[in-house]
Amino acid sequence: MIRKQQPQGARRKFMQLALAAGGAAALPWLTPAQAQTSAALTAAGDKGTRLILLGTKGGPTPSALRAAPANVLLIDGQPYVVDCGNGVAQQLVKAGIKLPQIRDIFLTHQHSDHNADLGNLVLLAWATGLATPVQMYGPPGMRRMMDDFVRMNALDIAVRIKEEGRPPLRPLIKTHEFSGPRVVLENDQVKVTAALVDHYTLKPAFAYRFDSKDRSVVFSGDTAYNDNLIRLAKGADVLVHEVMYLPALEKLMRTVDNAPTLLDHLVKSHTSTAQVGLVAARAGVKTLVLSHFVPGGDPAITDDMWSAEARQQFSGEIIVGKDLMVI
């Protein structure tokens, strides 16, 4: 049987419709007050600052409940990515963000749940059409990571340059390493300030504050209770803060193999549900967004359980974060 070939115009029309359908997926599980469709978020001329929680689970182990840590701020339609846990590119696409738009990436610290897909995000954006530089900001080690990453993927990169006509990848990756507090970036959209936080033995670890024309948003990174973070977050509109639910840690330890000192690490590296409310209250923020949940793969921990102790300390708005939530 010989299948009749479609006319060229019909095939082109089919592809246009397919691409349009794929890019118009909405996010129906978000409440109207906190969510907009992906089409609205990426519309031309979109103004203002919107926060999207790409992944809200703490720790490197995969979970069906939450994706790995990552966030993105859309400022006048331009994405600013904070942390790159496993699957960040897929989460950005689900949020309606085109990967070649990526221009600035901020890394809070060098833990695998935050940096696992740092290189992959740029590689996948490049394979999707990226031709402009990507600026990476964060602690020392990024430059070497990117050099090693490009070497690891040298065969794939070379083939795509030769067969697909893509530009060389490594010149597009610009790293900016620092070890102390500073203004990291300032342009006509936003001022980004970094402060040192306390992530036990992993140093340096940073929190970031983004001050745009209409909002101020702070990301705690991974930290125990920390006065530097409180000073950084003073008066912010939104504080996205990691959180740990202490009563669930005993149950978590029963499921973990070959990590006899993990409990000690968790207690010394993270902020409890009660402490996070105190941080928000002392910083005087308007909205506290709980994220980077530890343990983040336990469906028995309800939203009320995550927020109850924080509410005893903080009288402002508290949002228990979900993957792909828009705030």
Which residues are catalytically annotated? Answer: 113
Ramachandran class of 94: left when φ > 0, alpha when ψ lies in -120 to 50, beta otherwise:
alpha
The sheet with strand 317-320 has its strands ordered as: 182-186, 190-196, 206-212, 216-219, 238-244, 287-294, 317-320
The single residue listed with the structure tokens 């749940």 is 113
What is the 3 state secondary structure string of 178-247? CCCCEEEEECCCEEEEEEECCCCCCCCCEEEEEEECCCEEEECCCCCCCHHHHHHCCCCCEEEEEEECHH
> What six digits make up the tokens of 174?
């610009």
Q: What are phi and psi of 137, to 5 degrees?
A: -125, 135
Q: Which ranges constitute the DSSP H helices of 72-204?
A: 88-94, 112-115, 118-127, 142-152, 154-164
CA atoms of 3 and 306, how far apart (whole Å) = 59
Q: Buried (b) or exposed (e) across 198-231, using 16+ Cβ within 10 A?
A: bbbeeebbbbbbbbbeebbbbbbbbbbbbeebbe
Tell me the three state secondary structure of residue 81: strand
Which class for 42: exposed (0-12), middle (13-18), buried (19 or more C-beta within 10 A)? middle
CA atoms of 232 and 211, how far apart (whole Å) = 11
- Cα-based angle 21, 27, 32 (whole degrees, multiple of 5): 130
